[in-house]
Amino acid sequence: MKTRAVWSGCVWPVALVALGGLAACDRERAQPKPVADVTRAQAEPRPAPEVAGASGPPYGAAAPMAPGTDLGRPLQDQIDPPPAVVGTAPDAVMAGAPPGAGAALTATELAFITQAVEAGLFDIRVGQLGVDRASNSVVRSYAALLVNDQTAMNRQLQQLARQLGVPVPTTLSEPRQRIIDELARAADGEFDRQFVLVAGTRVQQDTVALFEQTGRDTRDTQVRSFVLAALPTLRAHLSAAERLPIRG
């Protein structure tokens, strides 16, 4: 009985220690690895597989585009260009025509209409002064001719401008208005000569040249028709100016 008690007192604690060590080992083996280790292992790049005899780009690189495809073209090259406007000059601009007019005039044609309207207004104002103040009967008759013809011509031109949607001046520019004001202040004995200076041969030559140039250059049929109809009258004004007894 004494020997059995001694064995039990010595061996049993040793067995408990051994069992505790085994449990600790099991717990350490079952504990998961830190998350940082797993992430670092996944983030490490894997070497590209080497294939014997392969000559293409490395693994993961963009493959070359097949010839003739549109994938490499710039975006602006893939956009369809706007349809070309047939029958207009490179400097053509829309004249803001009302519906149904369909007018597309060049910048030169627009400028001609504006200049012609203002030149007509100027001749009318100058002619009215000549009718009222000219002392020479021939000069006075020439002034009346300008007033009558230019009034009718400007009426037609303004109607054409409305059809084409072109805004036209209703008053004179400052330089031309200044000429009118100076002519109105001219003395009676000096008026006829001053009148011929601002409404005589040189002025009518410039007007005829403007209309003739426009008739050659314009592509608009309505503008050309107006120019061709007005030229005989304007040439008659030039001939009348050349016959005036007073030279400017």
Using a 10 angstrom Cβ sphere, with 0-12 exposed, 13-18 middle and 19 or more buried, the burial of residue 210 is middle
Question: Residue 194 — pLDDT band, cuts 50, 70, 90?
Answer: very high
**Average confidence (pLDDT) over 237-246:** 96
d(CA 245, CA 5): 165
d(CA 56, CA 28): 49
32, pLDDT greater than 70: no
40-54, 62-76, 206-220: range with lowest mean pLDDT: 62-76
Instruction: Kindly list the domain boundaries of the chain, sorted by start residue.
Output: 113-242
Distances (CA, A) of 140 to 110, 143, 185, 193, 236: 33, 5, 18, 12, 16
Q: Is 70 helix (H, G, I), strand (E, B) or coil?
A: coil
10, pLDDT greater than 70: no
**Average confidence (pLDDT) over 24-52:** 47
Please provide residue 92's backbone torsions phi and psi, each rounded to the nearest 5 degrees.
-65, 140
pLDDT in the model for residue 158? 94
Tell me what percent of the residues of the chain surpass a pLDDT of 70.
58
Model-wide pTM > 0.95 = no
Take residue 230 and report the two structure tokens written for it.
Answer: 């007005």
Higher per-residue pLDDT: 202 or 33: 202
Q: Report the b/e string of 157-166 with b at 16+ CB within 10 A.
A: bbebbeebeb
**Average confidence (pLDDT) over 239-248:** 90
223, pLDDT greater than 70: yes
Question: Residue 109 — pLDDT band, cuts 50, 70, 90?
Answer: very high
Give me the CATH code for the 113-242 domain, please.
1.20.1260.10
Distances (CA, A) of 141 to 3, 45, 115, 218, 241: 165, 103, 25, 34, 11
Contact predicate 221/241, CB 8 Å: no
Q: What is the DSSP string of 185-247?
A: TS-HHHHHHHHHHHHSHHHHHHHHHHHHHHHHH---HHHHHHHHHHHHHHHHHHHHHHT-SS-
